[in-house]
Amino acid sequence: MSGGFDMIAHRTTATAPLITVLVTAPELITARVLAKAALKARLAACANLIPKIESHYWWQGKMESSAEVLILFKTTKAKLKALETLIVEKHPYDTPEFVVLPITAGNQRYLDWVSASVNPKR
């Protein structure tokens, strides 16, 4: 196949299932604090901050809307509980968003990097 993509999506290995975690924050400063805390604790390999999203939701019986920042954490399933604990403890919301999506395939070098970043060799 000429002119097409040569990249092959590889399935994640059973020894290191990878996940993406979605977390919203009220503003960029909070998002940066959460991202840095997760990275310093080696609970995520990467945190992408996507500012200026608009969220519409039900809260305490009323429809609400607000500007937020979406954080996409890439990590392993083994680090999930510790990451959730860190986010819940440091987040200003009473009920922070913490949604987990499986990474089922991707570039093998990237997948290996995610796994190695949260499990550095000592």
Q: Does residue 112 fall inside a structural domain?
A: yes
Q: Does residue 38 fall inside a structural domain?
A: yes
What is the distance between the alpha carbons of residues 73 and 28, in angstroms, rounded to a whole number?
15
pLDDT (average), residues 18-23: 98
Q: Does residue 47 fall inside a structural domain?
A: yes
Structure confidence at residue 10 as a pLDDT band (50, 70, 90): low
Q: Does residue 53 fall inside a structural domain?
A: yes
pTM, 2 dp:
0.87
The overall longest dimension of the chain from CA atoms, in Å, is 56
**Can you read off the two tokens belonging to residue 106?**
């991707």
Q: When comparing pLDDT for 2 and 20, which is higher?
A: 20
Chain centre distance of CA 44? 7
Q: Residue 9's pLDDT is what?
A: 60
Tens digit of each residue's pLDDT (9 = 90 or more) over 50-103: 999 999 999 999 999 999 999 999 999 999 999 999 999 999 999 999 999 999
Q: Domain residues for 34?
A: 17-118
CATH number reported for the structural domain that contains residue 53 in this entry: 3.30.70.120
Q: Does residue 1 fall inside a structural domain?
A: no
Q: Does residue 35 fall inside a structural domain?
A: yes
Q: What is the 3-state secondary structure (H, E, C) of 14-26?
A: CCCCEEEEEEEEC
Q: Does residue 3 fall inside a structural domain?
A: no
pLDDT (average), residues 17-37: 98
Q: Does residue 65 fall inside a structural domain?
A: yes
The count of C-alpha atoms lying within 13 angstroms of the C-alpha of 87, restricted to the half-sphere facing its C-beta, is 25
pLDDT higher than threshold 50 for residue 108:
yes
Strand intervals (E) in the chain: 10-11, 18-25, 46-59, 62-76, 99-103, 105-106
Q: Residue 120's pLDDT is what?
A: 84
Instruction: Specify the number of domains making up the chain.
Output: 1
The count of C-alpha atoms lying within 13 angstroms of the C-alpha of 54, restricted to the half-sphere facing its C-beta, is 1
pLDDT higher than threshold 50 for residue 14:
no
